[in-house]
Structure 1
Amino acid sequence: MNRAAAPALLALHDREMREGARPDGPDDTVERVGRVVRRTAPAHGWNGVVWSDLGEDDADSAIAEQIAHYTALNLPFEWKLYGHDLPPDLGPRLVAAGFTSEPEETLMAGEIGRLTLDAELPDGVRVVPVTDEAGADQVAAVHERAFGDDASWLRRQLLDRLTAAPDDVVAVLALAGDVPVSAARMELVPGTGFAGLWGGGTVPDWRGRGIYRALVGHRARIAAARGYRYLQVDASAQSRPILERLGLTPLTTTTPYVYEASGRVSVSCQEEQKEEVAARGGGRGPVTA
């Protein structure tokens, strides 16, 4: 994509994916409160602020309002802050209000028809769709081997999506013979031009063989066949160079600011939300390609 077109694509992403955010699942509520758009999903979903348009005069009161909302529900939550969000000191204001910042990542996007999607799977590796509980179990198992953390939240969330809105999520496994060695997801947002890539984890013994790149191409072709024009990814420092070589363009940075409700949430719930922040908010790019 021509980098000169990046500002227009960022503006489109803001309108469709942030300010115009839609519910992710059956228990997900998206609401606009003043100059903030937030989502609340008490069961297995993601809780947090996806868009804001604040000034110096109303930023602190808006922050306090979101803290009150989620704390009343005993939910930890994330304020997903983008590099171009205002006011310029919104990040320090969040920290002063009790949020903890997580590692910065890069929002990347690209027009599917202009991407380089010719990576091939290694010999003996094939891609299969995930459509049921057994497949969700395998996705979670790959996640745990790739990233070294508990993925029970991912299993529950994926099963919810496959049950309630199977046309809006694509999950795939790469199998070496019958052994899962990589897994990835894609979320399709009806009414927008964007398909979002998430997951992208490969087990240690199979890294560096092009599986991640091949799964990007596999999902991109599915998205294009369903009428989507763009891919978007929250890229880690490790995945950004790979995605740039495929043709995706950096648009801005994104940083999760996490609020844990001052101990009112159980430890297990806090840990689940942290995992969801890391994987949902941070994209969970590959440890290596």
Structure 2
Amino acid sequence: MTLSEEFLTAYDRQLRTDAETPSAIAVEHLGPLRLVTFAGGRGFVTYQDLGGASAQTIAQWVAEALAFYRSDPAIVRVEWKTRGHDYAPGLRETLLANGFEADETESIMIGPAGALTADVRLPPGISLRRITEEPDIRAMSAMQDEVFGDAVSAGNAEAILRRAALDDGMELWVAEHEGSIVSAGRLEPVPGTEFAGIWGGATRAGWRGQGIYRALTAARARAAVTLGKTLIHSDSTEYSRPILERYGLLRVSTTTPYYWRR
């Protein structure tokens, strides 16, 4: 087994469980599917594998899962998380036929946490810190909304604040210039596993290419090592993937989210 295959096996076994959705407020099961409900009217469909199901069975599951979420008027958006290495005949076509839309495909990156901890020189005037206070979290959320091309959403900020209140190990990190957040991301140690995830990485366009995201990643990796985690995983855009590859993370598969909106 290659190192990439070892990482992917660990990913499937350790992360594609309840560990994937620590902030869920409800989880229902439909065959191998986990139908997750998050605060803020968000549904999320995931699974460890589909057990070799046929296209016909998968189509039935998609229809039943969507009916489940449609029956709850509080649900406004559902994400169906697919992985490129899964055997899932007809899934993409069925999701599209049921009103889901594909978002950007990202790379599943995994590697040793220690490989990411190198010191990185920051541009003049840039500082890093972990944030915990509500005004900082709201400012971080607004910056991420803007960078991702979304309208600034109080709902997104509220979801992060609710998650922070759980005190489940999640850490929020930012890079600032003259009191303004220019880059941000979170660290999510996964209880009972070797893994910590790095998520939500966003850097304002004018500050990219200067090592800020790399430094923010190193800070989160050092925090993960302190917590005893040995592996880092991330779903990475084509912007962040090359940065992680340079420091030893491997692209083990891909993930494509499909979204249904009420």
State whether TM-score is above 0.5. yes
2:64 match: 65
Note the C-alpha offset of 1:193: 1.7
2:44 match: 48
Show CA shifts across 1:146-168 (max 9, x none): 33422423311211111122x42
CA distance in 1, matches of 2:20, 2:232: 17
* Distance of aligned partners of 1:127 and 1:64 in 2 relative to their CA distance in 1, 3 Å threshold: same
1:53 partner amino acid = L
Identity %, equivalent residues: 37
Note the C-alpha offset of 1:21: 3.4
Name the Cα RMSD after superposition: 2.1
- Asked if residue 127 in structure 1 is aligned to residue 128 in structure 2, the reply is yes
CA distance in 1, matches of 2:163, 2:18: 20
Q: How many pairs align?
A: 256
Show CA shifts across 1:96-118 (max 9, x none): 23321112111111111234633
The runs of 5 or more residues in structure 1 that have no matched partner are: 266-289
1:34 partner amino acid = G
Note the C-alpha offset of 1:45: 6.9
CA contact (8 A) 1:78 1:256 kept: yes
CA distance in 2, matches of 1:209, 1:254: 27
Show CA shifts across 1:83-138 (max 9, x none): 11222332122222332111211111111123463322223211121101111122
1:169 match: 170
Show CA shifts across 1:1-40 (max 9, x none): xx92111211221122213435432x52234332112311
Moved more, 170-179 or 113-122: 113-122
The runs of 5 or more residues in structure 2 that have no matched partner are: none
2:89 match: 88
Note the C-alpha offset of 1:254: 0.6
2:197 match: 196
1:17 match: 15
Note the C-alpha offset of 1:218: 0.3
2:207 match: 206
Going by fraction, where is helix more abundant, 1 or 2?
A: 1
Show CA shifts across 1:241-266 (max 9, x none): 11111211001111111122xxxx3x
CA distance in 1, matches of 2:174, 2:102: 32
